[in-house]
Amino acid sequence: MKTLYRKFIIATLLILGISIVIAFILANWVYMTSTRERIDAQNVKVAKEVTSSLEQMHSTSHLSFKAYLDSISKLGYQIYVLSETGEEFEFGEPFSKKNLPDEAMKVVEQKEIYHGMDSSRSPWMMMSHFSNQLGNTVGVPFTIGDEDYGLYLRPNNKLLFSDVHVIFAWFFVAVSIVSITGVIWFAKHLIQPITKLTEATREITRENFNFPLNIHRKDEIGQLAESFSTMQVQLQHNDEARKSFINNVSHDFQSPLMNIQGYAELLKTQALDDEHREYVEIIDQESKRLSNLTKQLLLLTSLDQKSYPMKRGMTRIDTQIKETVRRHQWRLEEKEIEISYHLPPAPILADAELLMTVWDNLLTNGIKYNQPGGSIFIKIAQTDGATIITFKDTGIGMSKEQASKAFERFYRVDAARKKDGTGLGLSIVKHIIELHNGKIEVESEIQKGTAFTIKLPIEKQTEE
């Protein structure tokens, strides 16, 4: 959600920047089309009034017009006077550049009015209005005695920026600060519920339908939160219905299946011809598979409950695996599979019953998918903070793609090849390992064999 927040703020700043540029261009256009001429005319008028006052003084002495122009400059003007003999006088704030263009010289030579503030020389156009150059003035001619002069004048920038301008500048700064802070606050306010909704969605994938949203708003986000809460309730309802359906069906399946198995066992003890014995064998096998499937479904649904009651206790993995091997000894012998193991004492805090299911599934798979005369090797290794258990067989193996799907529910590489498979065993194994904060990985090669590696953290287990 951080990115959305960042995007929002960047977009606001970008809009602010673009609006400043557009405002500048617009203001520039207004300045170029009307303001510039008006300011020039005003300044020419002021300059003319100053020169006519000077001419009316009938004084030939420089001293008297100097005093007069000095006092005019104090009213907020920069003034430069050039005589036909090349004498220069400056009043008020000095100019930064004192080069007069040829056009300005016509004021003294041909008694023409110079409009320096009306011509655009700078690429900044509007900003050139404030340039403190001698060329950026208006010039008017005047005569005192027999001598012709040119008076060049422009308003003093310092006085232009009066107190009102300073107040406006602060006003602009305050508006900018308040609006930027406001936008940041608003972005946070807008994005917070979206973060919450994302969290709630994540919780739903973990089958937690009770994540509190606490979003009480009347806008579109409020409506979204409301619909989301309704969906949460509906999903919870569906999930409960699904689980209770599987539960009930699985329970209801168990007793008739036990009956079928019982009768099949009974029939097997009777004298039957080969054909009928085969039928009874099939009934027995299929009912066992169905019974196994319902048991696995029951276990999976109970593991799916977020609050599965784990019965953690100190469990000796090595003893558990040895016990599993012992229980499957007859099948190993029947299929002539050689088993070897390296099982040093490995106590761990875990749910013993669940872990037993893991070893049972891995060993039966190792037997089921082995080749006659193949072998199985089981190993326990302890590393820093973890117990690593490996089940390796020299069986039929799987391709990379098949191995990547092996932990999916109901996935079976070749459903027709093995009749007694359900495709649920490995998904149960993975679920149990994850409940113990562990990890399971598979490495397999077709016709070479398969190795399952389980990593169960020790420290994390003991902390809980």
Residues that bind ligand ADP (CB under 6 A): 361, 365-366, 369, 393, 395-398, 406, 411-413, 421-427, 450
By beta-carbon proximity to ligand ADP, the closer residue of 36 and 328 is 328
Minimum CB–partner distance for residue 362 and ligand ADP (Å) = 7
Other CB atoms within 10 A of residue 51 CB: 21
By beta-carbon proximity to ligand ADP, the closer residue of 159 and 442 is 442
By beta-carbon proximity to ligand ADP, the closer residue of 398 and 456 is 398
- Give the containing element (helix H, strand E) for 81: strand 77-83
Q: 239-265: b or e for each residue (b if 16 or more CB lie within 10 Å)?
A: eeeebeebeeebeebeeebeebbeebe
C-beta of residue 315 within 8 angstroms of C-beta of residue 345: no
By beta-carbon proximity to ligand ADP, the closer residue of 95 and 407 is 407
C-beta of residue 69 within 8 angstroms of C-beta of residue 79: yes
Three-state DSSP class for residue 94: coil
- CA dist 423 and 77 (Å) reads 95
CA–CA–CA angle 375, 455, 458 (5° rounding): 130
Minimum CB–partner distance for residue 197 and ligand ADP (Å) = 35
Minimum CB–partner distance for residue 422 and ligand ADP (Å) = 4
By beta-carbon proximity to ligand ADP, the closer residue of 413 and 456 is 413
Q: Which residues contact 286 (CB under 8 A, 6 or more apart)?
A: 419
Minimum CB–partner distance for residue 213 and ligand ADP (Å) = 37
Minimum CB–partner distance for residue 293 and ligand ADP (Å) = 9
Minimum CB–partner distance for residue 272 and ligand ADP (Å) = 29
Q: Which two tokens stand for residue 307?
A: 């609050």
Burial class (CB in 10 A: 0-12, 13-18, 19+), 26: exposed
Q: Which amino acid is at 340?
A: S
By beta-carbon proximity to ligand ADP, the closer residue of 78 and 250 is 250
**Pairing verdict, β 338-342 and 375-383:** parallel
By beta-carbon proximity to ligand ADP, the closer residue of 278 and 414 is 414
Minimum CB–partner distance for residue 340 and ligand ADP (Å) = 16
